[in-house]
Amino acid sequence: MSMTNKFVVALALLSVSVMGAPVKIMPVGDSITRGGAAGPWGDGYGDAGWRYYIENLLTAGEVNYDMVGDLGTDADGAGNGGAIAGNWSGAKVTRPLRHRRHSGHTGWSIGSIRDNISAWLISYDPAILLLMIGTNDIGTTNTPPAIATWYGAYNQLLANVVATKPACRVVMAAIPPRATSGNANFGAYDANVRAFNAQVVYALYTNYAARGYDFRFADNYACISTNTDFPGHANASDYVHPNGYAHQKFALNYFHALSSLLTNNLAALNAEAEAFVRGGASANQNFGTTAGSATPAWRNSILRAKADATAANRTKSYLRFNVSTQTNPCADARLCVVFHGSSPWGDTNFVTSQAFNLYGVLDGQDAWLQTNITWNNAPGNDTAGNGVLSNQTVFLGSVTVTPATQTGDLLTWRSTALRDFITANRGADNQITLVVTATGSSSTEMVFHHKLYMDYAPPMLVLDIPDTTPPNWISGWPAVALPTLTGFTVRAQIDEPGAAFYAVLADGAAAPSVTQVRAGQDATGGVALSTGSITLAAVGEGIAVVGNLFAVTPYDVYFVAEDRTHNLQTAPVKVDATTIPEPAGLALVLLCSLRLKGFRL
C-alpha cells in the first residue's frame, strides 16, 4: 500500500465546531504553506497547496471552521494564495477556496515568523496553528547545519506562542526533503534537513508537550517520496517545492496529528485502488494506468459513471479502501468525491438532474488491482447492463447531481447501510470495494476525481470513530500542595479536555474504585471526608482547595480523570497528604489571651 493510502486522518472536532462558533485554524509557514500564484510549482496543486486538500477533508467531515491569517482574502477570487487553479482541455478554470486566509509567507525564515506570531495571535485569535517553517533557514547550499541558531529561533517562536496564548494548540510539522533527480547537493542538504527535523522541530515538540502544552507533531518529511512527489512542476530546478501528490499527504498528515485534540474522531481514508471500467469495445481495456495516445494524460486520472442503451457508452467506477487501521466499529460512514462535471472530460454542468448509486461488493472479491480491472472482470459488475449483480453487491445509497452542482463541489453518499457494510464485509483482509453507477437506462456521464489528479481532492471514505480512550495524566500530576492546618490544595492536569475527581480518605483506608472516586465515596460506598471535581482544559492545570480537616493528620487522596466523552480512567491514583500543626507562636498567643480573660490553665 502506498504511503498516501496508509494515512489515517483522525480529525478532532472541537465542541464548538459543529454547534457553535467555528474553530479558527491558522496555517503558518513559508511558500510551501502559501502555495503559489497560479500554481507555479503546481502541476496540480494550484494556488493553495495542501490548504485546498484540508478544505475538502474538513468539508467532508462537516466541520464548522474558519481559516485565519494575515494573507488571503475573504472575497471570491484569487490573490495571496486564494484560489485553486487547474487546466482542463487547455483552458484554465479557477475554483476559489472557501477559506482563503493563511500566514504562509514566501521566502520567510523562522525568525520572521517568530517576530510576527504574537501580533497574529492577538489579531486573529486562532485555536489551532498548523506550523511548518525552516526550509528557507537551511537554504539552498550544503553548508554545515546551524542547529543552535535554528533551535534558538524556533524555541523563541514557540515561547512567543505560549506567552501570548497558552491554550493555543500547535501542530509542528517537519519540513519536507528536496527532490533527488539532478540535484547534486541532495545528500548534504538532506542531512541538514534530517538534523533540523530531529534536533529542532521534534526536540522542541517533545519539550513543550512534556510541559503540558497541547502540541502535536506531523512528519511531513517521512511521508514524501523524493522522486514521485517532485517531478512535473514548472519550477523543478529549485528542488524545493513539491507537487500535488505531496500536498495531499501534507493535508492528511496534519489531520493525523490533530487526532487527539478533538472530542469526536473522524478517520478519512484515500482509496488504495481506483479506476473506471467501460463496456463495448473497451470491455477488456484497463483504464487504471494508461490513456489513449490522443488523450491528455490527466484525463486518465478521472473516474466516470454513465448509464446508456449502447454498451460502449457505459461506465462505472470502482474504489477499494483498506480499513485495517479502524479497530473500533464506526458510528457513521460516508463516501465523498469531488464533482468535475459531465462528459466527455468534465467542466460542463448537468442540464437535468441525475441520480448516481453507490454499491458495496460482498466480501471475498477485493483482490482486483487498479492496473488490471476491466469491465469484464470487475467484481459484481453486470456486464450486460448498467447496474451491478444483486447477489454480489449491496445497495448503499444514492446522490443526485443537479444543474446547480458546480465543478469542485463535494458529493456525499452517507447511510447506515454503508456503515454496516464496512463492519460486515471488511473480512480478514480489511478491504472493502465500492462501486459508483448511474441510474436509469440513459444518463449524463458524471466525472469525478482520482487521487492521481492533483488539482482536486481524491475520493475519501470518512468514518466517525467513537473515542474510547481515557485521558492520561501529565507527568507530575495529580499532586497535593500547600498544606494548611485544615486542608491542602489538590492539583490535576491531563492530556485532553475533561475533568478530574478526587476523594479524601483516612490514611490507610481501603482503596476505592474509579466509580467510587468519581461519586465521592470510600471503598464501602460511604461519603468521603472531602470530595470534589476539577474541570480541565487541554492546556494547564486545574486546582481545588480542600478544607475542614484535622491538623497534623495524614490522609490518602484518590484521583481519577475522564475526558469529555466520558471515558473514565481504569484505576485511581493515590497521593499522600498531611496537614500541618499549629505554629508555636500562635499557641502562645492563644494561651496568653485565655489567661488575660481569667481562665485558670
Q: What is the DSSP letter of 344?
A: T
Q: How many residues make up the chain in this entry?
A: 601
Question: Where residue 10 falls among pLDDT bands split at 50, 70, 90?
Answer: very low
Which phi and psi angles does 554 have, rounded to 5°?
A: -80, 145
How far apart, in whole angstroms, are the C-alpha atoms of residue 546 and residue 564?
24
Residues with Cβ within 8 Å of 143's Cβ and at least 6 positions away in sequence, in order, are: 192
Residue 568 DSSP SS3:
strand
1 pLDDT higher than 80: no
Q: Residue 556 is which amino acid? A: D
Residues with Cβ within 8 Å of 79's Cβ and at least 6 positions away in sequence, in order, are: 72, 73, 100
How far apart, in whole angstroms, are the C-alpha atoms of residue 418 and residue 380?
17
Q: Compare 456 and 547 and report the one with higher pLDDT.
A: 547
Helix (H) or strand (E) holding 148: helix 147-164
Of 183-187, 300-304, 493-497, the one with minimum mean pLDDT is 183-187
How far apart, in whole angstroms, are the C-alpha atoms of residue 145 and residue 174?
16
pLDDT at 582: 75
How many Cβ atoms are within 10 Å of 37's Cβ, its own excluded? 15
Q: Residue 223 is which amino acid? A: C
Q: CA separation (Å) from 293 to 87, 296, 297, 299, 525?
A: 19, 8, 9, 11, 79
What are the residues facing 505 on neighbouring strands? 556
Scanning the structure block, which residue is given the C-alpha cell 463495448?
A: 280
As a whole number, mean pLDDT of residues 198-211 equals 90
594 pLDDT higher than 60: no
pLDDT in tens, 439-468: 988 778 888 877 665 556 678 898 887 778
119 pLDDT higher than 70: yes
pLDDT in tens, 64-78: 788 899 987 654 333
How far apart, in whole angstroms, are the C-alpha atoms of residue 151 and residue 93?
42
**Judging by DSSP bridges, how do beta strands 169-173 and 215-218 pair with one another?**
parallel
Residues with Cβ within 8 Å of 92's Cβ and at least 6 positions away in sequence, in order, are: 38, 85, 86
How far apart, in whole angstroms, are the C-alpha atoms of residue 75 and residue 558?
55
Q: Is the alpha carbon torsion for 329, 334, 335, 338 positive or negative? A: negative
Instruction: Identify which of 314, 437, 435 has the alpha carbon closest to the alpha carbon of residue 387.
Output: 437
pLDDT at 454: 54
Percent of all residues in the chain with a pLDDT value above 70, rounded to a whole number: 76
Measure the CA angle with vertex 418, ends 397 and 398; round to 5°: 10
- For the chain, the structural domain boundaries read 25-262, 270-465, 479-584
344 pLDDT higher than 60: no
Q: Compare 359 and 179 and report the one with higher pLDDT.
A: 359
Q: What is the mean pLDDT of the chain?
A: 81
Measure the CA angle with vertex 22, ends 20 and 27; round to 5°: 160
How many Cβ atoms are within 10 Å of 397's Cβ, its own excluded? 18
pLDDT in tens, 369-422: 998 999 999 999 999 999 999 999 999 999 999 998 887 788 999 999 999 999
25-262, CATH topology level: Rossmann fold (3.40.50)
Residues with Cβ within 8 Å of 292's Cβ and at least 6 positions away in sequence, in order, are: none
Please determine, looking at this structure, whether the domain spanning 479-584 carries the CATH number 2.60.40.10. yes
Of 54-58, 487-491, 512-516, the one with minimum mean pLDDT is 54-58
As a whole number, mean pLDDT of residues 140-156 equals 85
How far apart, in whole angstroms, are the C-alpha atoms of residue 356 and residue 444?
10
Which phi and psi angles does 324 have, rounded to 5°?
A: -65, -25
497 pLDDT higher than 60: yes
Burial group, residue 571, by CB count within 10 angstroms (0-12, 13-18, 19+)? exposed
**Judging by DSSP bridges, how do beta strands 431-438 and 315-322 pair with one another?**
antiparallel
pLDDT in tens, 271-320: 899 999 999 999 999 988 643 333 334 455 678 899 999 999 999 999 99
54 pLDDT higher than 50: yes
Percent of all residues in the chain with a pLDDT value above 90, rounded to a whole number: 47
pLDDT in tens, 260-269: 565 456 777 8
Residues with Cβ within 8 Å of 431's Cβ and at least 6 positions away in sequence, in order, are: 320, 321, 322, 323, 366
As a whole number, mean pLDDT of residues 124-148 equals 86
Q: CA separation (Å) from 516 to 390, 535, 548, 558?
A: 54, 18, 21, 10
Cell numbers at residue 258, please? Answer: 490533530
Cell numbers at residue 318, please? Answer: 470502482
Q: Is the alpha carbon torsion for 407, 249, 60, 98 positive or negative? A: negative
Instruction: Identify which of 125, 88, 6, 589 has the alpha carbon closest to the alpha carbon of residue 344.
Output: 88
pLDDT at 97: 65
Which phi and psi angles does 87 have, rounded to 5°?
A: -130, 100
pLDDT at 41: 34
As a whole number, mean pLDDT of residues 223-239 equals 58
Scanning the structure block, which residue is given the C-alpha cell 533540523?
A: 196
pLDDT at 38: 38
Q: Compare 599 and 147 and report the one with higher pLDDT.
A: 147
pLDDT at 441: 82
How far apart, in whole angstroms, are the C-alpha atoms of residue 375 and residue 316?
8
pLDDT at 278: 95
235 pLDDT higher than 60: no
Q: Compare 515 and 450 and report the one with higher pLDDT.
A: 515
128 pLDDT higher than 80: yes
Cell numbers at residue 164, please? Answer: 501570548
How far apart, in whole angstroms, are the C-alpha atoms of residue 533 and residue 538?
16
CB-CB contact of 477 with 559 (8 Å): no
Q: What is the DSSP letter of 306?
A: B
How far apart, in whole angstroms, are the C-alpha atoms of residue 228 and residue 175?
17
pLDDT at 597: 55
Q: Among the residues of 174-329, which ranges form H helices?
A: 186-196, 203-210, 244-257
Of 39-43, 56-60, 202-206, 558-562, the one with minimum mean pLDDT is 39-43
Q: What is the DSSP letter of 231?
A: T
